Amino acid sequence: MKLKKGDNVVVIAGKDKGKKGVIIKTLRDTNKVIVDGVNVLKKHVKSRGENAGGIVDMTHPIDASNVAFVDPKTDKPTRIGYKGVGKDKVRIAKKSGTELK
């Protein structure tokens, strides 16, 4: 998986197609990512002690194949590649060729 926490992505498939967000967490063992504001479901929570119960919005994981990295230069979906710079390996955006942090 070439995506990292903090990357800006756009959903390219599913019920939230077209939504943009930032990756909160990557789940490498299941090849899924949690994106802020995407795949939000409601969960009924029982009150426990001081915490009040009710209906809570929870962000659930989405498959990594259903999101695409947003190119910082063109603001369009792109793929991620790698380029060797000296002894370092740097991520690059395929469309514009810009180096990623």
86 pLDDT higher than 90: no
Task: Give exposure, 36-48, as e/b (b: 16+ Cβ within 10 Å).
Answer: eebbeeeeeeeee
Q: What is the pLDDT of residues 12-61, one digit of tens each?
A: 999 999 999 999 999 999 999 999 999 999 999 999 999 899 999 999 99
> What pTM, to 2 d.p., does this model score?
0.82
Condensed to tens digits (0 to 9), the pLDDT of residues 59-80 reads 999 999 999 999 999 999 999 9
> Taking Cα atoms as reference points, which of 94, 42, 41 lies closest to residue 68?
94
pLDDT of res. 61: 97
Residue 101 is predicted with a pLDDT of: 77
Q: Mind listing the domains of the chain with CATH numbers?
A: 8-70 (2.30.30.30), 76-101 (no CATH)
**pLDDT of residue 85 exceeding 90:** no
State the burial class of residue 50 (Cβ atoms within 10 Å of its Cβ: 0-12, 13-18, 19+).
exposed
Write the CB contacts of 99 (distance below 8 Å, at least 6 apart in sequence): 83, 90, 91, 92
